[in-house]
Amino acid sequence: MITLAPLPYTTNALEPIIDTHTVELHYGKHHQGYVNKLNELIAGTPFENTSLEDIIKSAEWPIFNNAAQIWNHTFYRNELTEPREGRQPIWALYDAIVAKRGTFQTFQETMIASAVGNFGSGRTWLVKNTDWTLEIMNTSNAWCPLTTDKKALLTIDVREHAYYLTYQNRRIEYVTNIWQCINRDKVNELFE
């Protein structure tokens, strides 16, 4: 049985970037809904006592869809923290970003543009390839780097329920502001 991981902050911790009501709906309704549906789908199957990651790597839709959505939502939540302007990565990750994009600002602008241009419902990821190079990639629906040989470091959730109550159709404002909530220590930890 899969359980919903606890929220790593209070529901109002991300304000004013993401309002309390959005966090409550996104976590308590959408995220919990995927957990409930997955548990319903895997009851009595070989996946019933399997880890979430193993389910994602071997299941087909609709089991895959619900499992991957749980993983994606958990990953996104765990990288966020209280807002603070000027957040940049530290140590080795910063050096890798500068080596790839020239400046952190150029990297951030590229990732924002990728997220804004990610059509429909999905996520924009910063991933580390097996050769330690960095890549920005978009995924649709439930797809995630866990289904590849790439390691997820950072994601921006551009599914409308992640931001619509605060930003309506202003995705660019959301993907620009969300950087204030990125936990740079968490992202760097994943990189190293």
Task: Tell me if 47 is assigned to some domain.
Answer: yes
Is residue 91 very low, low, confident or very high in pLDDT (cuts 50, 70, 90)?
low
Domain count for the chain, please give it.
2
Sign, Cα dihedral of 31, 192, 175, 144:
negative
Residues 102 and 74 in one domain: no
Sign, Cα dihedral of 67, 70, 72, 75:
negative
DSSP, residue by residue, the chain: ---PPPPSS-TTTTTTTS-HHHHHHIIIIIIHHHHHHHHHHHTTSGGGGS-HHHHHHH--TTHHHHHHHHHHHHHHHHTB-S--TT----HHHHHHHHHHHSSHHHHHHHHHHHHHTS-SSEEEEEEE-TTS-EEEEEEETT--GGGTTPEEEEEEE-SGGGTHHHHTT-HHHHHHHGGGGB-HHHHHHHH-
CATH number at residue 72: 1.10.287.990
Task: Tell me if 1 is assigned to some domain.
Answer: no
Supply the mean pLDDT for the chain.
91
Q: What is the rounded distance in angstroms from the CA atom of residue 127 to the CA atom of residue 139?
A: 12
pLDDT of residue 88: 61
Q: Where a domain ends, among 57, 78, 99?
A: 78
**Residue pLDDT, tens place only, 121-143:** 899 999 999 998 899 999 999 99
pLDDT of residue 93: 76
Query: Does residue 83 have a cis peptide bond before it, meaning omega lies within 30 degrees of 0?
Result: no
Task: Tell me if 120 is assigned to some domain.
Answer: yes
**Residue pLDDT, tens place only, 138-165:** 999 999 999 999 999 999 999 888 899 8
**150 or 189: which leads in pLDDT:** 150
Is residue 99 very low, low, confident or very high in pLDDT (cuts 50, 70, 90)?
confident
Q: Is the pLDDT of residue 89 over 80?
A: no
**Predicted model pTM:** 0.92
Amino acid at 27: Y
